[in-house]
Amino acid sequence: MTDIFEKFNSLNIMIIGDVMMDSYIWGKVERVSPEAPVPVVKVSNKENRLGGAANVALNVQSLGGKPFICAIIGDDKDGEEFLSLLRNQNLSEQGILKIKNRPTTVKTRIIAHNQQIVRVDVETDENISEAETEVMIGMIKKILAEQKIDAIIFEDYDKGLITEKLISETAELAEHRGIITVVDPKKRNFHSYKGVHLFKPNLKELEDGLKMVIDSSKPNQVENAISKLKSQLGARAVMLTLSEKGVFINSDLGQRHVAAHKRDIADVSGAGDTVIATAALCLAAGLDEFKASEIANLAGGLVCEHVGVVPIDKARLLEESRKL
């Protein structure tokens, strides 16, 4: 396992997806507002972090890989703060496209006594224009021409960057170059990811995508739904994440349920980002879908022990992976 984790250090991963800034306001609640029946949070600290597809990049970086983010931000103050956070993490700005009159996505979480009180979102989910899509595809092509990319992650939050044209053209480029493609999907483009290597929905996304109710306690229902999706997409593997029930993987090698490890769960925010980043690196390093899903499942559980969105600790993941 040590050899695999060392191999991560030589891998370049492209992340195409919706980036955002996670803003945290920490404080204490000592009274209720006289203006309305809501808690008054006395602020003790504020912090901005990279979120969404940028958090996937942080997880790739934490595991030793080199991430290349292809994403959009607004030409605004929050966009500048986002770029500042990128620079502080030594992440490339090469694939970041600024768009005028479009807000940078910011999710502000107000936390008191280690509990999230409320979240405030500033965003738009309007698709980017055809012209902007062409610019982004050009940026993707440039990076592919200049760098050895080992895997491409589509990190789709339905915020408007990822369109059918962007998916089809990028997937074709990846297929031509023999690059692994992995997908963390959302509802809008759910059926557009044809022929990808690994497709990773959660249960709600699977139900929405197939327009059916699935009882996760009934293995036959889960197996049938995933088989149907795998066939529709022509994907090599589908990995369904089931929160505390672990993951279910259906690949050309067969199918398997991977149980979750018992954890003291503090916050599930960002766990999906960790899972997809870990799975992509494992596949690019040469592991099969089963082993990759085992390690990715483990990684997702580990980050849930922390409050807020945090990237995976490589040393701890390696230590726990040796026990699998």
Does the structure show a pLDDT above 60 at 265? no
- CA-based nearest residue to 155, from 193, 192, 182, 119: 182
- Within 10 A of 23 (CB to CB), how many other CB atoms are there? 20
DSSP 180: E
Does the structure show a pLDDT above 80 at 85? yes
- CA-based nearest residue to 174, from 193, 195, 152, 153: 152
Cβ(31)–Cβ(116) under 8 Å? no
106 DSSP β-pair partners = 21, 122
**pLDDT score of 268:** 57
29 DSSP β-pair partners = 41
Q: Which tokens hold the place of 324?
A: 């699998």
* CB neighbour list of residue 11: distance below 8 Å, 6 or more residues apart: 64, 65, 66, 150, 151, 281, 284, 285
**pLDDT score of 187:** 93
Cβ(194)–Cβ(233) under 8 Å? yes
Q: How confident is the model at residue 260 (pLDDT cuts 50, 70, 90)?
A: confident
Q: How confident is the model at residue 263 (pLDDT cuts 50, 70, 90)?
A: low
Cβ(195)–Cβ(175) under 8 Å? yes
**pLDDT score of 324:** 81
**pLDDT score of 176:** 96
Q: How confident is the model at residue 41 (pLDDT cuts 50, 70, 90)?
A: very high
Does the structure show a pLDDT above 70 at 9? yes
**pLDDT score of 308:** 62
Containing H/E element for 132?
Answer: helix 130-146
| 154-158, 234-238, 266-270: range with lowest mean pLDDT | 266-270
**pLDDT score of 305:** 72
Does the structure show a pLDDT above 80 at 36? yes
Whole-number percent of the chain with pLDDT over 70: 96
User: What is the sign, positive or negative, of the torsion defined by CA atoms of 285, 287, 292, 298?
Assistant: negative
Three-class secondary structure of residue 191 per DSSP:
coil
**pLDDT score of 309:** 65
Does the structure show a pLDDT above 90 at 250? yes
CA distance 56 to 178: 22
- Judge whether 313 counts as a catalytic residue: no
Does the structure show a pLDDT above 80 at 304? no
**pLDDT score of 271:** 84
CA distance 128 to 100: 11
CA atoms within 13 A on the CB side of 284: 31
Does the structure show a pLDDT above 80 at 256? yes
Q: Please identify which of the residues 78, 156, 184, 273 carries the catalytic annotation.
A: 273
Q: How confident is the model at residue 303 (pLDDT cuts 50, 70, 90)?
A: confident
Cβ(97)–Cβ(132) under 8 Å? yes
Q: What is the pLDDT of residues 64-81, one digit of tens each?
A: 999 999 999 999 999 999
Does the structure show a pLDDT above 70 at 306? no
> Residue 39 carries which side chain, given as an amino acid letter?
P
**pLDDT score of 259:** 87
How confident is the model over 118-129, as a mean pLDDT? 97
**pLDDT score of 245:** 86
Are β-strands 237-241 and 106-112 bridged in parallel, bridged antiparallel, or unpaired?
unpaired
| 57-61, 180-184, 224-228, 264-268: range with lowest mean pLDDT | 264-268
